[in-house]
């Protein structure tokens, strides 16, 4: 990576952030192709789904994975990988359960109550990418969170990779289907003879998968549109640049369109993050980890360094960029944490690398991308639950009718008014 160097003040932070975001090329539009696939699977069921699976490299085995296959995959999983996944399951479950809201009842002045009830959806699906790399961690992030939310039935759509199947067994999902791409999303949204229709679909995936989720989002819930991954590191005096440079390189492993940004008010700290190819592939300072030359060459990412004239300017830039991941390292940078509002997930301290969040920290790694952290949240129990108001008026109906009927008539709805007024003096 040969980072571009930009300068930033508080006044021009938003403009600089827009320039940085524009460095990531927009994805090609696959909307029309996806629309055809979704329509075909919705109309043709299993037959169309299997035809698309064969067309795109799958479909030679039954769609549904049998429980014996899942158990076998878990039994043969590398012991260290299994232990790591078990830590992830436990921590993600604890964090997800903490995000389940308690029900609440509001007592209104007229004497009635409105209870806000929390109810989980009945069935949810987790889409797990399994193309260039398998993602058993995505099984954990989606399935464990759905279970913690109280979802009764959790299914997974994924390619047939042993680590993914083992993770499905470890998480106790109800069904696994060998399918991927836009056709899998369509099958989950509308159902086929083999695949049950679900209420919510979550998980990362290719542009085709994300476009399919967008197109079916009027009929099912989704977690959002997952674009290229990004990381912004804000560092100040006292930060350890060695691990932070490796954090940036690790994020670039997600692909050539990954955006990695370093921001500081100290030019020397930014310079310390620039290294030759040999340095980028060398062991980390503690000798515990390394980035291979192959991975560095395959996924260079889009790298940018921003020299801010102050930590306030650094924060203004980060808020305008609204990164998927935001790391704060160094005394002055870490002090910004309470002021951060627009980040998918915030990591504080030089020891708090983003990769921990991808696997075992307990926070969810399915996060808003492309600046959506201004308004969107990472995957949580709330994506699988909905709030429903339960209204009990009792003796308050008369007072509320006197208040509401004039408003209804003003809007041109006399029968709305009448339906309230008939309750002013109910029959004895």
**Together in a domain, 95 and 209:** yes
**Together in a domain, 251 and 357:** yes
**Together in a domain, 50 and 116:** yes
User: Mean pLDDT, to the nearest integer, of 358-381?
Assistant: 94
297 has a pLDDT exceeding 90: no
- Please tell me the distance from the alpha carbon of residue 218 to that of residue 223, in angstroms, as a whole number: 13
266 has a pLDDT exceeding 50: yes
Determine, yes or no, domain membership for 381.
Answer: no
Q: What angle do CA 43, 46, 48 make, to 5 degrees?
A: 55
Determine, yes or no, domain membership for 252.
Answer: yes
Catalytic residues: 324-325
427 has a pLDDT exceeding 80: no
**pLDDT tens, position by position, 162-219:** 999 999 999 999 999 999 999 999 999 999 999 999 999 999 998 999 999 999 999 9
Determine, yes or no, domain membership for 384.
Answer: no
pLDDT score of 326: 97
Residue 426's pLDDT band, with cuts at 50, 70 and 90, is low
294 has a pLDDT exceeding 60: no
For 55, 118, 140, 269, 380, the CA distances from 32, given in Å and listed in that order, are 17, 37, 32, 47, 31
Q: Which of 300, 294, 299, 233 is nearest to 269 (CA)?
A: 233
Mean pLDDT of the chain: 90
Residue with the bigger pLDDT between 287 and 238: it is 238
- Please tell me the distance from the alpha carbon of residue 422 to that of residue 408, in angstroms, as a whole number: 14
- Please tell me the distance from the alpha carbon of residue 425 to that of residue 398, in angstroms, as a whole number: 7
pTM (2 d.p.) = 0.88
pLDDT score of 293: 29
**Together in a domain, 173 and 40:** yes
**Together in a domain, 236 and 154:** no
**Do 36 and 337 touch, CB atoms closer than 8 A?**
no
- Please tell me the distance from the alpha carbon of residue 24 to that of residue 300, in angstroms, as a whole number: 12
User: Mean pLDDT, to the nearest integer, of 250-264?
Assistant: 89
The CATH number for 92's domain is 3.40.50.1980
Determine, yes or no, domain membership for 137.
Answer: yes
Determine, yes or no, domain membership for 387.
Answer: no
**Do 215 and 34 touch, CB atoms closer than 8 A?**
yes
Determine, yes or no, domain membership for 64.
Answer: yes
- Of the listed ranges 275-284, 333-342, 409-418, the one predicted with least confidence: 275-284
Which residue in this structure is represented by tokens 């390292």?
329
**Together in a domain, 273 and 151:** no
pLDDT score of 428: 52
**pLDDT tens, position by position, 400-421:** 999 999 999 999 999 999 999 9
Task: Kindly state the percentage of the chain with pLDDT values over 90.
Answer: 78
Residue span of the structural domain in which 259 resides: 4-24+228-361
Which pair of structure tokens corresponds to residue 42? 């919705």
> Which of 318, 337, 361 corresponds to the end of one domain?
361
276 has a pLDDT exceeding 90: no
**Together in a domain, 414 and 351:** no
**Together in a domain, 397 and 324:** no
256 has a pLDDT exceeding 90: no
What is the domain count for the chain? Answer: 3
Q: Which of 381, 62, 58 is nearest to 193 (CA)?
A: 62
User: Mean pLDDT, to the nearest integer, of 385-414?
Assistant: 94
Determine, yes or no, domain membership for 380.
Answer: no
pLDDT score of 253: 85
- Please tell me the distance from the alpha carbon of residue 222 to that of residue 214, in angstroms, as a whole number: 8
Q: Which residues contact 108 (CB under 8 A, 6 or more apart)?
A: 114, 396
Q: Which residues contact 420 (CB under 8 A, 6 or more apart)?
A: 397, 400, 401, 404, 405, 408
- Please tell me the distance from the alpha carbon of residue 413 to that of residue 158, in angstroms, as a whole number: 51
- Please tell me the distance from the alpha carbon of residue 143 to that of residue 140, in angstroms, as a whole number: 5
């Amino acid at each position: 990576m040969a980072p571009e160097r930009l300068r930033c003040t508080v006044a021009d932070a938003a403009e600089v952030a827009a320039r940085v975001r524009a460095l990531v090329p927009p994805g090609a539009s696959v909307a029309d192709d996806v629309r055809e696939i979704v329509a075909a699977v919705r109309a043709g069921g299993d037959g169309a789904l299997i035809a698309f699976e064969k067309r795109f490299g799958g479909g030679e085995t039954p769609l549904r994975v049998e429980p014996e296959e899942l158990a076998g995959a878990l039994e043969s999983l590398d012991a260290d990988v299994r232990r790591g996944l078990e830590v992830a399951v436990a921590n993600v479950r604890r964090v997800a359960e903490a995000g389940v809201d308690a029900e609440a009842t509001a007592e209104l002045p007229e004497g009635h109550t409105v209870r806000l009830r929390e109810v989980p959806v009945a069935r949810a699906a987790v889409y797990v990418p399994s193309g260039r790399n398998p993602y058993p961690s995505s099984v954990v992030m989606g399935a464990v969170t759905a279970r913690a939310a109280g979802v009764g039935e959790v299914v997974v759509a994924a390619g047939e990779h042993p680590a993914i199947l083992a993770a499905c067994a470890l998480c106790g999902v109800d069904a696994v289907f060998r399918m991927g791409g836009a056709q899998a999303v369509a099958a989950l949204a509308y159902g086929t003879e083999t695949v049950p229709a679900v209420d919510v679909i979550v998980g990362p995936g290719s542009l085709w998968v994300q476009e399919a989720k967008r197109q079916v989002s009027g009929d099912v819930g989704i977690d959002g549109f997952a674009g290229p991954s990004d990381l912004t590191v804000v560092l100040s005096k006292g930060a350890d640049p060695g691990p932070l440079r490796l954090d940036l390189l690790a994020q670039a492993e997600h692909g050539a369109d990954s955006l990695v940004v370093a921001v500081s008010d100290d030019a020397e700290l930014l310079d310390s993050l620039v290294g030759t190819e040999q340095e980028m592939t060398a062991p980390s300072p503690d000798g515990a980890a390394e980035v291979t030359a192959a991975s560095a060459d395959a996924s260079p990412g889009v790298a940018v360094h921003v020299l801010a004239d102050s930590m306030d300017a650094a924060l203004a830039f980060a808020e305008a960029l609204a990164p998927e991941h935001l790391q704060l390292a160094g005394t002055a940078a870490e002090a910004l944490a309470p002021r951060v509002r627009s980040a998918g997930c915030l990591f504080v301290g030089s020891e708090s690398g983003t990769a921990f969040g991808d696997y075992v920290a307990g926070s969810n790694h399915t996060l808003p991308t492309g600046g959506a952290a201004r308004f969107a949240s990472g995957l949580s129990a709330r994506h699988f639950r909905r709030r429903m108001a339960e209204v009990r008026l009792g003796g308050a109906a008369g007072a509320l009718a006197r208040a509401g009927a004039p408003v209804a008539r003003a809007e041109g709805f006399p029968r709305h008014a009448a339906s309230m007024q008939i309750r002013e003096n109910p029959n004895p």
